Structure 1
């Protein structure tokens, strides 16, 4: 009984900020910060300001969804093949290559932002959502390759050998035999990539100069300025609420795969 009460209290502690942000998103700017738990004076004016800014909230949400889903799909595609290769194949300097890939995690993204900007300019991808996707995939790959290598290492090689005896080889073995077994790891990699791309702000701010190509984090920053230099907290909270919705839906839907994926390869 005590355990369940403690769990409920901890859950309420984590849900309280979400509830406060949700209520604040329905309050006029003058009332934000006063009487958070009061249900009086609620309206949709904050969401109206988001819709009336630039091309509208739906347009910028579409930009963010495209970037996040494209990042997740490309990250999964590359990391699955790379993780499978590092787990199952032997080749010269294999350990060194893996260490070099992981070492890039220690390089601060801000320190290479200028070179990345220049590379995108040379490729003609600056100020494009596709260029932003490639940047996000590059930054996400070291961790994703590490995750997928561990996921494949947790699968006994005897399963793959049995499939090979039955005539299932190569790509078919990876898709139909190994794929279902490492599916939790794939979900974890895709979820991490989606959330990081969905919430990332600095690269989108620097690499996107056209207002119509803004993602939601940049939109929230652009719309936060109120009259005479004040901060429009109502619009900010409305933008934060919109940004939370896909994250909550994905996490709740894929939670069981996510937890299994994080622990894949931890115990043999």
Structure 2
């Protein structure tokens, strides 16, 4: 009885969470008056969305570039920083780590305008590189915390064995420790991708050229129609295009994601 109740509850929650996604997929294919798919079912809404504004290919390319740069930068900085915090002792170590975590206490929206001014001063205003740097900064607290705990979960005997075999610190880091913390790296990379792929507010404020907009801003622009008329079919198609890569990536990396939290990521 207890197992049946548990499975029933989990099934109900699964249906509850999946319903909006299923509804969006159904609405994007269903015919609606004034949409790209007037009657029946088909991909007319996706065809109209592909030609919206600068074109779907441009928006997808921008989102992909930002996500790749964000994930790469976050992984590099968090892996090196997490290794340093976990394995080395240096003056101000704990203070520096706490200062990094303090970024979490700063409201996200309140510093976007100062960042906009800063990016203008260093020549990265209206730039996908500048937007990626902002995303990397906001991912660092969680990423460093995750990677520090992941490295601390690896026995120090592995480092010592590598040193005995002739490895230097950097070689041991690359050849021994990074493979050992792969689940943590995947978890950090997945969170960085989801944050940069789905973020709307930062691109809206930091970018002012339609050709540089990522997909979330483009989908929002679909609601800004003449006389308030919204093509909901095209809008739902845009939502599905945004959601499908996240679903696929999470499904493929799910086992690493769970293992990353279980194998030392929650150690205090």
Q: One fold, TM greater than 0.5?
A: yes
- How many pairs does the alignment contain? 261
| Residue equivalent to 1:187 | 186
| Separation in structure 1 between the aligned mates of residue 117 and residue 224 of structure 2, nearest angstrom | 30
| Separation in structure 2 between the aligned mates of residue 14 and residue 113 of structure 1, nearest angstrom | 31
| Residue equivalent to 2:18 | 15
- Is 1:62 paired with 2:54? no
| 1:12-51 Cα shifts (integer Å, max 9, x gaps) | 333222111101111244399xxxxxxx721222212211
| Separation in structure 2 between the aligned mates of residue 156 and residue 47 of structure 1, nearest angstrom | 51
| Residue equivalent to 2:80 | 81
| Residue equivalent to 1:203 | 202
CA contact 1:132–1:203 (8 Å) conserved in 2: yes
| 1:177-236 Cα shifts (integer Å, max 9, x gaps) | 001110000000000000000000111011111111110000001112344212222121
CA contact 2:125–2:206 (8 Å) conserved in 1: yes
CA contact 2:149–2:267 (8 Å) conserved in 1: no
Tell me, what secondary structure is at the counterpart of 1:24?
Answer: helix
| Residue equivalent to 1:258 | 257
- Is 1:178 paired with 2:181? no
CA contact 1:224–1:235 (8 Å) conserved in 2: no
- So what's the TM-score if we normalise by structure 1? 0.92
| 1:234-254 Cα shifts (integer Å, max 9, x gaps) | 121111100011101110000
CA contact 2:101–2:141 (8 Å) conserved in 1: yes
| Separation in structure 2 between the aligned mates of residue 90 and residue 233 of structure 1, nearest angstrom | 56
| Residue equivalent to 1:161 | 160
Q: Give structure 2 stretches of 5+ with no counterpart.
A: none
Q: Give structure 1 stretches of 5+ with no counterpart.
A: 33-39
CA contact 1:46–1:238 (8 Å) conserved in 2: yes
| Residue equivalent to 1:97 | 96
The Cα of 1:61 is off from its aligned counterpart by 0.6
- So what's the TM-score if we normalise by structure 2? 0.92
| Separation in structure 2 between the aligned mates of residue 133 and residue 189 of structure 1, nearest angstrom | 15
